Structure 1
Amino acid sequence: MMSSLVAFVGAAFLIAMVPGPSTAVILRRAVMNGRVNGMATVLGNECGVLLWGLAAAFGLSALLLASRLAYDAMRITGAVVLVYMGTRALWKARHKGGVDEEPAPAAAVSHGRAFRQGLITNFANPKAGVFAVSFLPQFVPHGAPVLATLVLFSVIWAVVDMIWYLPMVWLAGRARVLLQRASIRRRMEQVSGLVLLGLGIRLAAES
């Protein structure tokens, strides 16, 4: 069991390092609205990770493998969410003031909204569900109680993912102090908007 845990933690860290929609959303929220909102987004994201892990443990996410219709519905939903967030960021960038304005803080975002954004971004991605149901069972040692072990691995997966994002949010919060000019904030919105829009289009186009 211990060797399985060590192998799983190492694999979970490698998975966390792969950038995706959640990374883009978390960094944008931390840079634009500060570390606390960034952490709220991380917590929402990890709730999504945990839900996918539990779904895999109880066999629910296996439906995404068995049903093309269910997978496509989740895929299109996730793509719409990402395209919406990317379009919204680009709209904000376009409607901000002139380049030489005084520094302006970003619009306040509640912690609850940041949490929901992280949760929706993760849970609307069907690839996370397919990955959970194909990834977690590989590390269950022979003879171990399957359901209990999968639930344990789901919790560890969420914790490892959060540990990876903590220093990222801290650094993004530090960078926020240097990014107070309105022109720089506008550029950040443009870049994050394009990234989210591109991820959404890619998700929609994938088979």
Structure 2
Amino acid sequence: QGALSNFLNPKTVLVYITFMPQFINLDAHTNQQLLILGFILTLIAVGWFLILVYVIDYVKKWFKKPVFQKAFQRCSGVLLIGFGIRTIV
């Protein structure tokens, strides 16, 4: 579903059409260069999302700790009380 969404997304095509030609040598095989640049762009995106998933997984484990949850509840309570006081004033 995500791949189909990306294929049908006009923004992806616009970025590819406007950004990639500046890296193409017209004296060489243009199609081959476009495929290589597309592959590099895909590798960068996959690498970024793998890093993002790893960081989110680490943060999720940290959020599940009771010490963090208690501190978070206290901080958010103080913040909400502060917003309420600010609204009253």
TM-score, normalization: structure 1? 0.28
Greater share of helix residues, 1 or 2?
2
Change (3 A) 1:176 1:157: same
In the other structure, the counterpart of 1:175 is 59
For the pair 1:138 / 2:22, whether they are aligned, the reply is yes
Q: CA deviation at 1:173?
A: 0.8
Question: When the two structures are aligned, how many residues end up with a matched partner?
Answer: 66
Ranked by relative contact order (alpha carbons within 8 Å, sequence separation 6 or more), the top structure is: 1
Q: How does 1:115-194 map to 2 (within 5 A)?
A: 116=1, 118-180=2-64
Deviations 1:67-86 (A, max 9, x none): xxxxxxxxxxxxxxxxxxxx
Q: CA deviation at 1:124?
A: 4.1
C-alpha root-mean-square deviation of aligned residues, in Å? 2.4
User: What is the distance in 2 between the residues matched to 1:167 and 1:157?
Assistant: 16
Which structure would you say has the larger Rg?
2
Q: CA deviation at 1:180?
A: 4.2
Amino acid at match of 2:6: N
User: What is the distance in 2 between the residues matched to 1:154 and 1:136?
Assistant: 9
In the other structure, the counterpart of 2:86 is none
TM-score, normalization: structure 2? 0.59
User: What is the distance in 2 between the residues matched to 1:163 and 1:127?
Assistant: 21
SS at structure 2 position matched to 1:149: helix
Q: CA deviation at 1:178?
A: 3.0
User: What is the distance in 2 between the residues matched to 1:122 and 1:151?
Assistant: 17
Structure 2, unmatched stretches of 5+, are: 70-89
User: What is the distance in 2 between the residues matched to 1:123 and 1:171?
Assistant: 27
Change (3 A) 1:179 1:121: farther
In the other structure, the counterpart of 2:87 is none
SS at structure 1 position matched to 2:43: helix
Structure 1 runs (4+) deviating above 6 angstroms are none
SS at structure 2 position matched to 1:178: helix
